[in-house]
Structure 1
Amino acid sequence: MTTVGQRPQSSPRELTRASDRISFVYLERCTIHRDANAITAEDADGITHIPSATIATLLLGPGTRITHQAMSVLGETGAAVVWVGEHGVRYYAAGRALSRSSALAEAQATAWANRRTRLTVARAMYRLRFPDEDPAGLTRQELLGREGRRVKQCYQQHAQRTGIAWRGRQYTPGDFTAGDTVNQAVTAAAQGMYGIAHAVVTALGCSPALGFIHSGHELSFVLDIADLYKTEIGIPLAFDIAAESAEDPGPRTRRALRDQIHRTGLMDRCLTDIKHLLLGQSTPGPDTAPDQFTDTVTLQTDGDTLLPAGHNHDPYGDAW
């Protein structure tokens, strides 16, 4: 029988596409281990097997312990692992990209490195969030001002719709319970959205740090992408949960968000939006083109010409 350490690493072609995965799985008060290419969650009720390649994000709540082998298989299959709890959210791990191509990462870096194109992508993000407005010609300050007004209006609109007394956004880093019920629900929804965005960004091989609206943080681009769906999905759902009951807003919000993501096909939409923003693709397509499954390494030379790696390119020397 082959031991875990001797099993070959799965290739991208063998892995489940990001858009076809479970958006996230939340576990708490259990020990997480590995059995072949699945992870296991063991608690007082027994052992549950979860195919690791079908998970986009694994949320680890209070009381969880995870083994080295479990982290190994999650990394191999491209899943993001996020530590969450009553006192906020922590990102401690991310899986490998599901593509071997650097095309999206290079497009992201190229657009980010130029102030003009960075602003162009920021405007495109605003247009995705608020399609009824045209951000053409707006400065960054004007974009931020309009975004702030629209989000404030969104809070007020859903407070009026659900009959909740809204006293403003309240979130104390490190203290989840400091806010009222609706603020806890908003925070829990944001945590779930950040985890999903982190998983998709990583799966596509993009840099989580190179943001076009957020900046200076290791997850700037993750925050950019998650915010695309804040006013459409996260905020309305949080108010609905808070209006139903004040009991356990965090767990109830996570379960409702998971169901909403499945109903709306958000994972597939997230992939399409990132490709549209970075490559200008306007129509949906597969996660990866066939040639992105292969390990192809090239060398850069003059005139943007790419040469095959693994060769001695000295025209006057002997081959190695």
Structure 2
Amino acid sequence: MSTVSRRNVSSPRELARIGDRISFIYLERCTVHREDNAITATDADGVTHIPSATIGTLLLGPGTRVTHQAMSLLGECGAGVVWVGEQGVRFYAGGRALTRSSRLVEAQATAWANRHTRLDVARAMCRLRFPEDDPSTRTRQELLNMEGRRVKECYRRESARTGVPWRRREYHPGNFSAGDPPNQAITAAAQCMYGIAHAVVVALGCTPGLGFVHSGHERSFVLDIADLYKADIGIPAAFDAAAQGDDDVASRTRRALRDRINATGLLDRCVQDIKNLLLGPNGSQETGEMPDQVTLQSDRGLLVESGRNYSDAEASKHMREEPVW
């Protein structure tokens, strides 16, 4: 039986805001299907029903199969879908944005395209992380130096707080177990934070590749945003997990991070920070109210209604009565 046009696609106003949703749900070794307006995860233990409109991002791990109907429902609800490695450690692919407005991505591209405004955003990011310092006159190298010193201080502070011995940061690509427990925990926390930041970035319609601190990678902006919360969310959660023992550090880190994300309202904070960085404090208040519409660019910054025929001056007089199709 055909399902084409059976139900209308929800408008942006009808969808739950990304800041009000569950940050992420991780599934592995199951089949994801649809039942009414919920998705189901079926495995050896039975069937679990998950309200699709409450999901920020669905992480699909190894052994998962997802049906077309499930993906259709997730798309209608604006939920992010990400294919990841085991326990969510690696990011492989992602889906669509929650918003249908291009305002944020246009603001991002405009700020990124000018090296002066690009530096302004980088300084604003630094100000978010280190509010007690004024970065307004800092060069890029000075910003990097500040970042390096503060992160080292954070490692030492968390080591002293939790009693976890700390030597130095070590990361071994492709060999997670080569690091000691605190380094494993930090790596697991970083990967989770990248996934969460990626979900918020694409949900807002921004482009992951146009970074203001990081550059040259398809997820440069994602790395920028994730780093905003490294010192107060990611690293403390990692050391808390490492302090509980050497076994199963990665899983404990993810659980600790989940609890900290929920307690701090990170998703809502992340959304607001991105809006403030790209639109400024005033413009950020208006984004959620933008209508679902498409316009055409004309001369002198004028935006005109789309779907109308502008073939000549005479036609433009009757543009409201003559659609393109």
- 1:174 partnered with 2:171: no
Q: 1:59 Cα shift? A: 2.1
The one-letter amino acid of 2:191's match is Q
Give the secondary-structure state (helix, strand or coil) at the position aligned to 1:34.
Answer: strand
Tell me the residue number matched to 1:188.
Answer: 188
Task: Report the equivalent of 1:134.
Answer: 134
Q: What is the Cα deviation at residue 5 of structure 1?
A: 8.0
What residue in structure 2 maps to residue 249 of structure 1?
249
Change in Cα spacing, 1:219 to 1:73, as seen in structure 2 (3 Å) is farther
Deviations 1:229-261 (A, max 9, x none): 000100011001100122211222112211111
| Whole-Å separation in 2 of the counterparts to 1:254 and 1:282 | 35
- Aligned 8 A contact 1:58 1:81 in 2: yes
Higher relative contact order (CA 8 A, sep 6+): 1
Q: Distance in 2 between matches of 1:151 and 1:4?
A: 53
SS at match of 1:281: helix
CA RMSD of aligned residues (A): 2.3
**Structure 2 residue 299 is matched with structure 1 residue 302:** yes
For structure 1, the residue ranges without an aligned partner over 5 or more in a row are: none
Look up the SS of the partner of 1:288 in the other structure.
Answer: helix
**2-side partners of 1:251 and 1:260: how far apart?**
14
| TM-score computed with the length of structure 2 as normaliser | 0.90
Q: Which amino acid aligns with 2:215?
A: S
Contact 2:103–2:287 under 8 Å retained in 1: no
Partner of 1:157: 157
The residue number in structure 2 matching 1:221 is: 221
Alignment of 1:11-160 (within 5 A): 11-82=11-82, 83-85=84-86, 88-98=89-99, 100-160=100-160
Residue type of the partner of 1:183?
N
Q: Which residue does the alignment assign to 1:315?
A: 313
Inter-partner Cα distance in structure 1 for 2:240 and 2:152: 17
Q: Structure 2: how far apart are the matches of 1:197 and 1:70?
A: 24
Residues 207-238 of structure 1: CA distance to partner in whole angstroms, max 9, x if unpaired?
11111111111111111111100001000110
For structure 2, the residue ranges without an aligned partner over 5 or more in a row are none
Give, in angstroms, the shift of residue 200 of structure 1. Answer: 1.3
- Counterpart-to-counterpart distance in 1, 2:246 and 2:143: 35
TM, length-normalised to structure 1: 0.91
- How far apart are the structure 1 equivalents of 2:233 and 2:191? 13
Aligned match of 1:198: 198
Cα offsets for 1:158-217 (capped at 9, x unmatched): 112222221322222233222221122112211221122112111211111111111111
For 1:98-134, what per-residue CA distance to the aligned partner results, in whole angstroms no more than 9, with x for missing partners? 3x22111111111000000000000000110111111
For 1:56 and 1:251, how far apart are their aligned partners in 2? 20
Instruction: Find the aligned partners of 2:159 and 2:202 in 1 and give their Cα distance.
Output: 35
Q: 1:74 to 1:42 in 2, by over 3 A?
A: same
Q: Give the count of matched residue pairs.
A: 316
* TM-superposition CA deviations, 1:248-277 (whole Å, max 9, x none): 112221122111111111111111111110
Q: Return the alpha-carbon distance in structure 1 between the equivalents of residues 6 and 217 of structure 2.
A: 37
Answer whether contact 1:87 1:174 (CA < 8 A) is retained. Answer: no
For 2:193, give the aligned amino acid: M
- Give runs of aligned pairs for residues 208-287 of structure 1, distance below 5 A: 208-281=208-281, 285=285
Identity of aligned residues (%): 64
